[in-house]
Structure 1
Amino acid sequence: MSIVVRDVHEHELDSVLALNNAAGPAILPLDAARLRHFFETAEYFRVAERDGTLAGFLIGMGSDAEHDSSNFRWFRERHPNFFYIDRIVVASRRRGGGVGRAFYADAQSYAELRYPHIACEVFLEGTNDPVLLFHGSFGFREVGQHVMPGTGIRAAMLMKELCSYPWVNATYGRDLPHVAWAAARQLPVQPLSARSTGTGH
């Protein structure tokens, strides 16, 4: 019954895509090309397994990423250094079972070694009070609101200060100890043709 959070594998992308597009209006839809782009570039792309089956995924990136999300740009225009949660999806049959909390604990453990803040947004359409409560219980606070161009969707923009970062940064900087739990994701190596022409994006 334990939850295992680990880096995504390439053969799981179809399952991740299906999970994303079955999540409902609280998550923007994805196509295969955009998901592939995340797989090739996102510094944090992990899945959760429970009882041997895929229970959800979380995609995140730092503030210097090349990411075209208007919500990401909103944060970057106002804050110089942060870790951004682009999306988190938990399979409907697994909601309320601790998968979301396992993801946020893991994402924070990763982010607080590298960034002073963690950022995300919650759509304010419909009744999203349980989602806001979930984030509030993790220490996120609203720092503004943003209406997404082309959709009219209003989002609460949330941030959390990562209090361990100043000590980690002062002690280690970017030279973190080589231990498994602190390791960054190894991005897949793209073919030379894709890297030189930009076709991998």
Structure 2
Amino acid sequence: MKIRNATKEDLPAVLALNEASVPHVTSEDLSEMEYYVDKANPFLIIEEEGELAGFMIVLQKGLDYESLNYAFFSNNYDDFDYVDRIVIAEKFRGRKLGTALYQYLAKNSEQKLITCEVNLKPPNPNSLEFHKVIGFRKVAEQKTEGGKKKVALMVLEL
């Protein structure tokens, strides 16, 4: 297993992995992924068996980023790492790669909190359980996309 920062060369594979994970993550296009390469801190890639096995996009407070979930954390917390998305390829699930990404982030973070949201509608029970097991707690719920989605807003104190 290898964790490293993403480059623009990774984006076609990242985009394909992201799209395979919709509706649990939001669909993105290449220009949006390029934004993350420029603004995310960090944008992590995890490789396993020489393949891109997953990724994690982390945003800091103070960005011009249109997301109701990001806005919730920005309006309620001073210091945080916002995990915009974490995706592990289906073939690599169950190998603790998501845990490894969160451990890497926690070890290298200068913030006091890691924040994220997990879909309640459409339901994503595996992700919700995963985040609870590693220590996240739900602080609020929020509807997005005109009520099409509902998320649990979660915080992990470092």
| Matched pairs, number | 158
Query: In structure 1, what is the equivalent of residue 141 of structure 2?
Result: 145
The Cα shift of 1:68 comes to 1.4
Indicate which of 61, 67, 71 corresponds to 1:63: 61
Q: Which moved more, 1:129-138 or 1:114-123?
A: 129-138
Work out the CA distance in 1 between the residues paired with 2:99 and 2:128: 14
Q: Structure 1 residue 17 and structure 2 residue 15: aligned?
A: yes
Amino acid at match of 2:155: M
Q: Structure 1 residue 125 and structure 2 residue 121: aligned?
A: yes
8 A contact 1:70–1:149 mirrored in 2: no
TM-score using structure 2 length = 0.94
Within 5 Å, which residues of 2 pair with 1:90-169? Answer: 90-111=88-109, 114-150=110-146, 152-162=148-158
TM-score using structure 1 length = 0.75
Decide whether aligned partners of structure 1 residues 33 and 150 sit closer, same or farther in structure 2, where only a CA change above 3 A counts: farther
Indicate which of 84, 87, 102 corresponds to 1:86: 84
The Cα shift of 1:110 comes to 2.0
Query: In structure 2, what is the equivalent of residue 170 of structure 1?
Result: none
Q: Gaps (5+ residues) in structure 2?
A: none
8 A contact 2:56–2:101 mirrored in 1: yes
Identity %: 32
**RMSD between aligned alpha carbons?**
1.3
8 A contact 1:83–1:115 mirrored in 2: yes
Work out the CA distance in 2 between the residues paired with 1:38 and 1:83: 14
The Cα shift of 1:12 comes to 1.1
Query: In structure 1, what is the equivalent of residue 45 of structure 2?
Result: 47
